[in-house]
Chain A
Amino acid sequence: MKRLRWFLGLVIITGIIAVIILDHIPSLLEWQSPFLKRAFFILILCAAFCLWRILLGPTASDRAAALDIMGILIVGFCAILSIPTGRDWYIDIGIAWALQSFISILALGKYLEGRRFDE
């Protein structure tokens, strides 16, 4: 049963990655570089995993953890977007986002410390 679930997940994820790499996804942006377009969609897949954990997580701490991981992923988004668009200020947004997400996670951790786990 466990092996069957593992195999099913492997097939689904390999299918999604194959769709991304074979470039079947239409996009609104104009991408000069085909590699960076695929990199962008793989990061969107990672963010979708985080959203899955935010929707499903049994406790509030799980959701906060997924939020933290997504905050770090957004820095990667900004770094990748600054190459094909040629706008250098995306990396400024990345630095500001890294620091601000750290402070908000500190506040969220302090807030969750005194509560029971299902509130």
Chain B
Amino acid sequence: MKTKIILFITAFLVWILLSWSFQPMHLIIGVIVGILVSVTTSDMFVKEPKIFRNTKRYLWLLYYIPVFIWECVKANIDAALRLVHPDLPINPGIVKVKTTLKSDAGLVFLANSLTLKPGTMTVDIDKENGFLYIHWSDVKSQDIEEATRLVVHKFERILKRIFE
């Protein structure tokens, strides 16, 4: 039941953003479509409903967004400068790092953030053992511990408080 309510609120928010008009007819259609979606597909998306009640997670999410956008802008300027340099100063390779996140949503957000972070792109995830394979355009260290400290640590610290 809780999962259905959470999914209904999400679907209704997306409906309001899509049709930005507050006439009663639009809102009634949104409620009907939201109930249909939440009844049919409730057990596919939300696994643990109790973590949505924790207010601290939303504050950490608000802190995470500016950090992420700043890293993203830095990554773009770094990639553009490497591109236009005549000598092409890249030193690529696929390295292996480890993570301590366990939940699905946390792993997806970690992989997405690493793809938009300076110099790294996720290639594959080994969920059982907690390993990530990462294509690094400027390999500084091939050791697992050292690479983990350089690449994953900054985002993992915040994402652990949001999704675990």
Question: Measuring CB to CB, which residues of chain A are less than 8 angstroms from any residue of chain B?
Answer: 2-3, 6
**Residues of A contacting B: mostly:** helix
Q: Within 8 Å of chain A (Cβ to Cβ): is B24?
A: no
Question: Measuring CB to CB, which residues of chain B are less than 8 angstroms from any residue of chain A?
Answer: 86-87
**Residues of B contacting A: mostly:** loop
Total A-B contacts with CB atoms under 8 angstroms apart? 4
Residues from chain A with Cβ under 8 Å of B87 in the complex: 2
Q: What are 4 A-B contacts defined by CB distance under 8 Å?
A: A2-B86, A2-B87, A3-B86, A6-B86
Least Cβ distance of B121 to chain A in Å? Answer: 12
**Cα A3 to Cα B86 with chains together (Å):** 6
Least Cβ distance of B8 to chain A in Å? Answer: 21
Least Cβ distance of A102 to chain B in Å? Answer: 13
Residues from chain B with Cβ under 8 Å of A3 in the complex: 86
Residues from chain B with Cβ under 8 Å of A2 in the complex: 86-87
**Cα A31 to Cα B40 with chains together (Å):** 47
Least Cβ distance of B15 to chain A in Å? Answer: 13
**Cα A3 to Cα B87 with chains together (Å):** 8
Residues from chain A with Cβ under 8 Å of B86 in the complex: 2-3, 6
Residues from chain B with Cβ under 8 Å of A6 in the complex: 86
